[in-house]
């Protein structure tokens, strides 16, 4: 099962949460969440397996968490 399928399964259970997936030194955000991240943080959206994806470095996590909390969003 690929990462995209795992994220889709998680989103079915936790629809209102933003799902961050750590891959190496980056976090990836998929599907609708990628558009949210693109809007909030001006990140570029790319396509992986026909799914929109945004990535950001692990070193930016605290900044991302603070902004998500400020915008009343949950991270799982």
Given a cut of 70, whether residue 74 has pLDDT beyond it is: no
Spans of all domains in the chain: 3-75
Contact (CB, 8 A) for 4 and 51: yes
CATH fold of 3-75 = MutS, DNA mismatch repair protein, domain I (3.40.1170)
Mean pLDDT of 11-26: 91
State how far the alpha carbon of 48 is from the alpha carbons of 3, 8, 16, 51, 54, in Å.
10, 13, 22, 5, 10
Per-residue buried b or exposed e for 28-61, using 16+ beta carbons within 10 Å of the residue's own CB = bbbeebbebbeeeeebeeeeeeebbbbbbeeeee
25-62 per-position pLDDT tens digit? 999 999 999 999 999 899 999 998 899 999 999 999 99
- Higher pLDDT: 14 or 27? It is 27
């Amino acid at each position: 099962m690929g990462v995209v399928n795992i994220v889709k399964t998680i989103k079915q259970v936790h629809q209102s949460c933003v799902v961050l997936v750590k891959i190496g030194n980056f976090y990836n955000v998929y599907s609708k969440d990628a558009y949210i991240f693109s809007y909030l943080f001006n990140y570029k959206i790319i396509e992986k397996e026909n799914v929109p994806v945004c990535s950001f470095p692990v070193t930016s996590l605290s900044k991302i968490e603070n902004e998500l909390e400020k915008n009343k969003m949950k991270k799982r």
